[in-house]
Amino acid sequence: MSLKAFHILFVTLSTLLAVWFSVWSFSQYSDGAGTLYLAFGICGAVLVVALIVYGVWFLKKMKDVSLL
């Protein structure tokens, strides 16, 4: 597996984990767990957006590099 392919896989898995964490935090907050979970959910949502922006930027930058 090339470094580019590993990087794409890692960013994708990180984004999915951040989505899960954000949804979980918001669900905990809605169940009345406390405002700290709201902060965690917001931070997770910001991280999701940042990872998506980074992933798109990386794919554009590396479009001429082979996946193999």
pLDDT, position 68 = 67
pLDDT one-digit tens code per residue, 35-48: 999 999 999 999 99
Contact between residue 25 and residue 41 where contact means Cβ atoms under 8 Å apart = yes
Q: DSSP letter at 34?
A: -
Q: What is the mean pLDDT of the chain?
A: 93
Tens-binned pLDDT, residue by residue, of the chain (68 aa): 788 889 999 999 999 999 999 999 999 999 888 899 999 999 999 999 999 999 999 999 998 887 76
> 55: exposed, middle or buried (C-beta count within 10 Å: 0-12, 13-18, 19+)?
middle
Which tokens is 13 given? 């898995």
C-alpha 22/C-alpha 7 separation (Å) is 22
Tell me the two tokens of residue 18.
Answer: 């951040």
Give me the amino acid identity at 63: K
